[in-house]
Amino acid sequence: MRHPVNIPTPASFSREHIQTVGDMFVENARIQCRNVDVFYGEKHAIQDVSLDIGRNEVIALIGPSGCGKSTFLRCLNRMNDTIPGCRISGEIKLDGLDIYANGLDVVPLRAQVGMVFQKPNPFPKSIFENVAYGPRIHGLAANKLELEEIVEKSLRRAGLWDEVKEYLHHPGTGLSGGQQQRLCIARTIAVSPEVILMDEPCSALDPIATAKIEQLIDDLREHYTIAIVTHSMQQAARVSQRTAYFHLGKVIEVGDTALIFTNPRHQLTEDYITGRFG
Amino acid sequence: MNNPKEDSQLSNLGIRTHQIVKAGLPRRRAAETRFKAYGLICIVAGLGFLVLLFGNIISHAWSAIEQTYVALDVTFDESLLDPEGKHDSAVLAAADYPALLKKSMSALFPEVKDRQQKRSLNGILSKGASYELQRILVKDPSLLGKTERVWLPVDDDVDMLVKSQIDRSVDEGDRRLKDYQIAWIDKLMADGRLEKRFNRQFFTSGDSREPELAGIQGALMGSLFTLMVTAFLSLPIGIASAIYLEEFAPRNRWTDIIEVNINNLAAVPSIVFGLLGLAVFINFFGLPRSSPLVGGLVLTLMTLPVIIIAGRSALKSVPPSIREAALGIGASQMQTVFHHVLPLAMPGILTGAIIGMARALGESAPLLMIGMVAFIVDVPTGLMEPSTVLPVQIYLWADSSERGFVERTSAAILVLLAFLITMNGLAVYLRKRYERRW
Amino acid sequence: MQKSTLLLLLLLISAYAFHLGRKRARDIVLGKVKTLHSLPNYYGYYTALWSLLPALLLLILWLGFETPVINHMVMESLPDGSQALSADIKGLLINDIRNSMNAGGSDTKPELQAAVEFLRLLKIRSGWLLSFLAVALAFVGAYFARSRIHKEHRARNLVENTIMSFLLGSSLIAILTTVGIVLSVLFESIRFFDKIPLTDFLFGLQWSPQIAMRSDQVASSGAFGAVPLFTGTLLISSIALVVAVPIGLMSAIYLAEYASLKFRSVAKPLLEILAGIPTVVYGFFAALTVAPFIRSMGADFGLDVSSESALAAGLVMGIMIIPFVSSLSDDFINAVPQSLRDGAYALGATQSETIRQVVIPAALPGIVGGILLAASRAIGETMIVVMAAGLAANLTANPLEAVTTVTTQIVTLLVGDQEFDSPKTLAAFALGLVLFLATLALNILALHIVRKYREQYE
Ligand SMILES: Nc1ncnc2c1ncn2[C@@H]1O[C@H](COP(=O)(O)OP(=O)(O)OP(=O)(O)O)[C@@H](O)[C@H]1O
Ligand SMILES: [Mg+2]
């Protein structure tokens, strides 16, 4: 086990039962998670996870189904608040600020940390309204022109503009699955968040749409911090710099994507990526 | 994407978003709080109406528990009642009791001489007081010739005054009781001759024009008979229909039409069913007007959709695996349904049926159409006799102008609500008790 | 014999027939039940059905046709002078005869004495004849069925087919009801429109049906213009919806989105009690408490409010339909998938923004369907308006004045004495037709929307 020497660990962090192999911590982290536990009622879904997400990096979360990837991701912008009976302990900091601090408002947090879901969930509104929704509620556009500009730019960045520019006022639910997913991505980046969480964004898509979204992720990386959950090892390898392997609610191994896939250090990780498990 | 200008723009955007969102937050949080408050206010308003309604009715109804009685010393004068001394019950029954009452009243107030005043003095007593005397004497003929203190019901206006529901401070001209009448009543009260007693009459007699004599028993019996007919017809037909549609019917245009039709029937205004009943059952088939039979038939047609819909959803909730298991051991489809599916769905069906019956019990509009609004004094004893039902009785009393009917109407409403609450409570209990999660 | 006694007797006979059939089946195979086609009980049921159904059918037919046939026979027996009378007068006459028979013959008009006696005789004979025939038929049926039983007899299939016919027949009653409603209302309406032109009825501004009762008045003098009734109905229903829709919708939103599970489990059933209270209770409440209250409130503001104001009736009706709006809306709000809410939350929307801009638009078709159903309920509501709204057919949009409604007029026209040919009575059916068609359109539209919507999220 390699302990990073140059990174100070917070005092609240207990090293007693370290379960994770690899570099959990990075310099200049954007998000820092320490000893995070999540319960759904009695069920202990995330157990003592500590993990950093760096600036302008894409981190891939992989692991067998039900191991808690989505749960972990939803902790990062407090989407778990909407689930009755869900409890979280531990510490999660965004740019050094505890996002679970008392009295913290989730609205600006979520504007800062956007999320794309596994199943595309466009609102039953027009394509334009879907994308304009975020800027509208936050008042990001001063006038209609500016709003149209934001919508166009977001759709362009999501690689959807050319396909829908004629149909901006048609319902978003009428698009194909892949288009819907890109619409949801456009909707998310229209708010200009700083972190984007993606939960299996390509699970319902064909290879071409997947390629488009992977390209998009690559482009976004320059300015955004991205955490992506994926079941596809190839996809993780293509888009991410770091990879975290989850198993039964624990982070088993974290490290450079290239290293993890070529040279896993934990037996479970190796079993998973060689396809012997999961 | 490698345009450096756009890049720096983008990284600034994130910070800009953050600032703008922060700035707009107080306004949005206030809107949030307001919205939530509106919701709460609306629920409180809805529940407030409920409390208001119940409070209003209970506050009007409580005084109907008691009825004022006056104590009179009545001499069962033989020369007046039975001049020929036959002691025959037919003679006793036909005797002139009002005259006895007049005598007793004048004995109490000898100073009243004026004819007009004498009449209003006798008006203190209920019109039913003489029947009460008759009843007493027929029951016990040995009272003949003796003087006995009897308690007799008073007129509704007097009753209202005693219950302080007539305002004494109102101008005499606008009051139903004049000052001198009030003086008599006060005197009676001072003598301890006026007393409020439990209003048995209300539960044991039929309708009457006099509030103090009116009761709900006739209406209750009418409701009972009507509901019996309804239950007897709508339960088997409704359940059979639900079974056919859910278990046997092929899925095609026809069953689609039947389904739409049933859903629509459930929302047809009840008064239209009354028109149907009037045109078909009364005018075409010549069934007797105002009878519980026709009322029951109309209510059957009205409750059928409710029972069918509830029955179907209860049957639907029985998992297919049960059917497959029974069919798998060689039972016919009919046996499967009647031996396995139906017993499991029965609690759900019954819950729906009870709710349907409760609705039928509270229904009045269609019954107005088929003549169940007649003024009926006798307590009905059969399906073909003219009768009324409790809700219609409430409607009739609510329409009367006498002050004394207000409390009785409210009391009748309470009785009706008590029945409805019991039935619905039973339905809830059934559902809770036999609820199954598959 | 009493009909109920007869029915009981028939049931007893069929129980005996059950026993008969089962025994016969056992006897035929000498106790080797396995060789029978069906279980012995089915032979019992088969015999019982044969014994009960024909007799029951006879009973029902008899009861249906007894009155018309006897009436006819009594009329025939009357002296020749009566034969030439019109159908209406004949009807009155027969009523007279029946009434005097029921009254025990004490105050019978002498000229009807013979007819009354004849009627009494016929009734008694009819009763005995029916009892005899029904019992005989029951036994004949039972023995006939018994004679049919043999080893290969497919009793189970026959019994099941009979049950099946009963099930099918039951489900047709709903259709028959609709047909019955349409026919009865339509038939009388056509008779009405023979006397009063349809256009006068639909577009006339003057409603005073009582005038047409006078014999010297021409029926089509314009007293049957239903427009004031339509506007009155719309006015009261609109007031009701103005009360019920915001309260119902906001309550549903609060219950579905904000309320804790515990609060919801208490408040929701309580709110639904409002829909279970009989409408006559609301009518009483409106007439006794709300209308005077509004009137005195109006007086405080210097307004002249009618004691039967549309406002009072509409307000109370609104309270009644709150649960119709709220419980359907609640269902539909709950049916909106959580993923849509998540999508909005993830963009940083507050809860109320999510509800107003995502959840409600998504649930809108269902909510509109619910509101349409509530509207149909309001239009067809009878007791509240009969008790709290007026009878004067004012053409006004002022909620403080008294208006009358379609349902109120139906009740007023039909309660009390009836001559089945006067335009007054027939007008009630014409109004009923309009009411039925209007609510039918609303219901079908609403049910269609609701159904479509359910499919969308299933
Ligand atoms: N709302 C919930 N209530 C209760 N338990 C939940 C809930 N959501 C998830 N869980 C449980 O928490 C555990 C982790 O679930 P999670 O959805 O995070 O898994 P996952 O890694 O995303 O799986 P997948 O790859 O299939 O999406 C699972 O065992 C699941 O059963
Ligand atoms: Mg997941």
- Indicate the range of A51-55, B118-122, C418-422 predicted with least confidence: C418-422
Does one domain contain both C139 and C241?
no
d(CA A108, CA C350) in angstroms, rounded, equals 10
The Cα A206–Cα C310 span in angstroms is 62
Alpha carbons C426 and C433: distance in angstroms, whole number: 11
What pLDDT is attached to residue C281? Answer: 95
Same-domain pairing of C148 and C236: no
**Between C416 and B429, the higher pLDDT residue:** B429
- Same domain membership, residue C135 and residue C230: no
Nearest atom in ligand 1 to A68's CA: 18
Could you tell me which residues come within 8 angstroms of residue B225 by beta carbon, excluding any fewer than 6 positions away?
A: B292, B296, B380, B382, B383, B387
Distance A59 CA to ligand 1 centre (A): 20
Residues C20 and C139 in one domain: yes
Q: Which residues pair with A53 in a beta bridge?
A: A31
For B125, list phi and psi in degrees, rounded to 5.
-80, 150
Residues of C in Cβ contact (< 8 Å) with B263: 443, 447
Query: Residue C273 maps to which CATH number?
Result: 1.10.3720.10
The candidate with the shortest Cα–Cα distance to B163, out of B132, B185, B187, is B185
A-to-B residue pairs, Cβ atoms closer than 8 angstroms: 46
CB contact at 8 A, A96 and A102: no
On whether residue C195 sits in a domain, the answer given is no
Write out the DSSP string of B394-425: HHHHHH---THHHHHHHHHHHHHHHHHHHHHH
The 8-class DSSP code of residue C214 comes to: S
Alpha-carbon distance values, C376 to C30, C112, C379 (Å): 65, 50, 5
Q: SS in 3 state form for C107-121?
A: CCCHHHHHHHHHHHH
Q: What is the number of the ligand 1 atom nearest to the C-alpha of A200?
A: 27
Q: Given this model, what pLDDT does residue A5 score?
A: 42
Sheet of B66-75, strands arranged across: B147-153, B66-75, B194-198
Distances (CA, A) of A118 to A204, A231, C451: 8, 11, 28
Q: Are C399 and C231 in contact (CB under 8 A)?
A: no
* CA atoms within 13 Å, Cβ hemisphere of C11: 6
Residues C264 and C116 in one domain: no
What is chain A's mean pLDDT, rounded?
86
For the ranges A103-112, A188-197, B172-181, C330-339, the lowest mean pLDDT is seen at B172-181
Element (H, E) at A87: strand A86-94
Candidates C378, C389, C391, C398; CA nearest to C287 is C389
Pocket test for ligand 1, best of A38, A43, A81, A248 (most atoms within 8 A of CB): A43
Structure tokens at C325: 């709006």
Q: Among the three residues C92, C127, C153, which one is the final residue of a domain in this structure? A: C153
Q: Where are the beta strands (DSSP E) in A101-220?
A: 113-116, 195-199
Beta-carbon contacts of B95 under 8 Å, excluding residues fewer than 6 positions away, are B80, B81, B82, B134, B137
Name the most confidently modeled range: B157-166, C115-124, C252-261, C298-307.
C252-261
Pocket lining: A40 vs ligand 1, CB cutoff 6 Å: yes
Q: Please, are residues A195 and B21 in contact by the beta-carbon 8 Å criterion?
A: no
φ, ψ for residue C108, nearest 5 deg: -75, 140
Q: Return the residue whose CA atom lies nearest to atom 30 of ligand 1.
A: A66
Q: By the 8 A CB rule, do B43 and C267 touch?
A: yes
| Sole residue written with tokens 């002249």 | C304
Looking at per-residue pLDDT, the higher value among C84 and B161 belongs to B161
Average pLDDT of span C350-360: 93
CB burial readout C11-25, b (16+ within 10 A) else e: eebbebbbebbbbbb
Question: Cα dihedral sign for B174, B176, B181, B187?
Answer: negative
Of C137, C153, C169, the last residue of a domain is C153
* Ligand 1 atom closest to the CA of A231, numbered from 1: 25
Burial environment of residue B117 by CB neighbours within 10 A (0 to 12, 13 to 18, 19 or more): middle
Do C2 and C132 form a contact (C-beta atoms < 8 A)? Answer: no
With left for phi above 0 and alpha for psi between -120 and 50, is residue B150 left, alpha or beta? Answer: beta
Cβ contact, residue pair B18, A112, below 8 Å: yes
Interface test with A, best of B1, B21, B22, B33 (most A CBs within 10 A): B21
Q: Which residues of C touch B406 (CB under 8 A)?
A: 288
Per-residue pLDDT tens for A87-136?
Answer: 999 999 998 889 998 888 889 999 999 999 988 999 988 999 999 999 99
d(CA A60, CA B396): 77
Sheet (strand A225-229) strand order: A21-22, A250-256, A242-247, A58-62, A225-229, A195-199, A113-116
Q: Which of C261, C348, C357 sits opposite A191 (nearest CB)?
A: C348
Which chain A residues are Cβ-neighbours of B18 within 8 angstroms?
Answer: 108, 111-112, 194
- According to the model, what pLDDT value does residue C39 have? 81
Atom of ligand 1 nearest to the CA of A64: 25
Closest to C426 in 3D by CA, of C243, C189, C121, C217: C189
Return the half-sphere exposure (C-beta side, CA atoms, 13 A cut-off) of residue C323: 15
Q: Is residue C211 part of a domain?
A: no
In this prediction, residue A18 has a pLDDT band, given cuts at 50, 70 and 90, of low
Class of residue B25 by CB neighbours under 10 A (exposed 0-12, middle 13-18, buried 19+): middle
Residue B42 pLDDT more than 60?
Answer: yes
Q: What angle do CA A78, A82, A87 make, to 5 degrees?
A: 70
Residues contacting A180, CB < 8 A, separation 6+: A120, A122, A172, A173
| Residue A147 Cα to ligand 1 middle (Å) | 37
Using the Cβ of C273 and the Cβ atoms of chain B, whether some distance falls under 8 Å is answered with: yes
Does residue A248 come out as left (phi exceeding 0), alpha (psi in the -120 to 50 range) or beta? left
Q: Which of B22, B413, B82 has its CA nearest to residue B219? A: B413
Please count the other Cβ atoms lying within 10 Å of the Cβ belonging to residue C295.
20
To which H or E segment does residue A50 belong? strand A43-54
Strand pairing report for A86-94 and A58-62: unpaired
Do B397 and B202 contact (CB within 8 A), yes or no? no
Ligand 1 atom closest to Cα of A249?
Answer: 14
Q: d(Cα C26, Cα C258) in Å, to the nearest integer?
A: 68
Q: What is the mean pLDDT of residues B312-317?
A: 91
> Taking residues C10-28, what's their average pLDDT?
88
Beta-carbon separation of C347 and A125 below 8 A: no
Residue B3: what pLDDT? 47
Domain end among C97, C129, C153 = C153
Q: Where are the domains of chain B?
A: 4-62, 65-204, 217-434
Based on the number of CB atoms within 10 Å of its own CB, is A84 exposed (0-12), middle (13-18) or buried (19 or more)? exposed
Encode pLDDT of B378-390 as tens digits: 888 878 888 899 9
Chains within contact range of chain B (3+ C-beta pairs < 8 Å): A, C
Instruction: Give residue C358's domain range.
Output: 223-453
pLDDT at A4: 43
Q: In angstroms, what is the span from residue A70 Cα to ligand 2's centroid?
A: 4
Core vs surface per residue C206-236: b (16+ CB within 10 A) or e: bbebeebeeeeeebeeebbbbbbbbbbbbbb
Asked, for residue C197, whether it belongs to a domain, the answer is: no
Average pLDDT over residues C315-342: 91
Residues in B touching C290 (Cβ below 8 Å): none
Mean pLDDT, rounded, for B406-429: 91
Report the range of poorest mean pLDDT among B151-155, B274-278, C325-329. Answer: B151-155
At B236, the pLDDT band (50, 70, 90 cuts) reads very high
Instruction: Identify the pLDDT of residue C222.
Output: 47
Check whether A261 has a pLDDT greater than 90: no
CB A113 within 8 A of CB A77: yes
Name every chain A residue with its beta carbon within 8 A of the beta carbon of C358: 123
Taking the C-alpha atoms of residue A149 and residue B236, their distance in angstroms, rounded to an integer, is 67
Answer whether residue C164 is part of any domain: no
Q: How confident is the model at residue B308 (pLDDT cuts 50, 70, 90)?
A: very high
| Cβ density class A16-28: b for 16+ within 10 Å, e for less | eeeebbbbbbbee
Give tens-digit pLDDT for B19-38: 888 888 999 999 999 999 99
Tokens 């308003």, located at residue:
B45
Average pLDDT over residues C329-357: 92
**What is the distance between the alpha carbons of residues A136 and A181, in angstroms, rounded to a whole number?**
21
* Choice among A231-245, B129-143, C275-289 with the minimum mean pLDDT: B129-143
Helices vs strands, H then E, count in chain C: 18, 0
> What pLDDT is attached to residue B260?
87
Count of domains for chain C:
2
Residue B60: list chain C partners with CB under 8 A: 288
Q: Which one of the ligands is nearest to A61 CA?
A: 1
Across residues A223-244, what is the average pLDDT?
90
Q: Is the CB of A45 under 6 A from ligand 1?
A: yes
Ligand 1 atom at minimal distance to the Cα of residue A41: 4
Asked if C337 reaches chain A (Cβ–Cβ under 8 Å), the answer is: yes
Distance B12 CA to ligand 2 centre (A): 32
Average pLDDT, integer, range C272-290: 92
Q: According to the model, what pLDDT value does residue B374 have?
A: 79
| Residue pLDDT, tens place only, A180-197 | 988 999 999 899 888 999
pLDDT tens by residue, C228-238 = 999 999 999 99
Q: How far is B34 from chain A (nearest CA, A)?
A: 17
Cα–ligand 2 centroid distance for A69 (angstroms): 6
C360 and C231 housed in the same domain: yes
Q: How far is C98 from chain B (nearest CA, A)?
A: 11
The whole-number pLDDT of residue A208 equals: 83
End-to-end CA distance of chain C: 58
Selection from A73, A51, A61, A38 nearest residue A196 by Cα = A73
User: Would you say residue B391 has pLDDT above 80?
Assistant: yes
Mean pLDDT of B213-226: 90
The best mutation among A39, A61, A65, A71 to test binding of ligand 1, ranked by most ligand atoms within 8 Å of the C-beta, falls on: A71
Question: In terms of domains, do C389 and C263 share one?
Answer: yes
Within-domain flag for C198 = no
The CATH classification number of B217-434 equals 1.10.3720.10
Q: What local confidence, expressed as pLDDT, does residue B390 receive?
A: 93
List helix spans (H) across C381-456: 383-388, 406-414, 423-456
Q: Are residues C308 and C227 in the same domain?
A: yes
Alpha-carbon distance of A183 to A122, in angstroms, equals 7
Place of tokens 């199954």: B436
pLDDT the model gives residue C230: 93
- Determine contact: B280 vs chain C, CB below 8 A: yes
* Res. C56: pLDDT tops 80: yes
Does residue C200 lie within any of the structural domains? Answer: no
- Mean pLDDT, rounded, of chain C: 85
- How many angstroms separate the CA of residue C353 from the nearest CA in chain A? 8
Tell me which of C222 and B425 has the higher pLDDT.
B425
Asked if the C-beta of B53 comes within 8 angstroms of chain C's C-beta atoms, the answer is: yes
CB pairs under 8 A between A and C: 71
pTM comes to 0.85
Give chain A's end-to-end CA distance (angstroms, integer): 24
Out of A69-73, C215-219, C377-381, pick the least confident: C215-219
Do C284 and B398 make contact, defined as CB atoms within 8 angstroms? yes
Tell me: pLDDT of C354 over 70: yes
Going by alpha carbons, the residue nearest to atom 9 of ligand 1 is A71
Selected residues 283-342 of chain B with any CB under 8 Å from a CB in chain C: 283, 285-286, 301, 304-305, 308, 332, 334
| Chain C neighbours, 3+ Cβ pairs < 8 A | A, B
Residue C1, both tokens: 């014999």
Residues sharing a CB contact under 8 Å with residue B346, sequence separation 6 or more, in sequence order: B314
Residues C141 and C243 in one domain: no
* Chain C residues lying within 8 Å of A140, measured CB to CB: none
Kindly report the number of other CB atoms within 10 A of residue B394's CB atom: 30
- pLDDT in the model for residue C108: 62
Residues of B in contact with A222 (CB under 8 A): 1, 7, 10
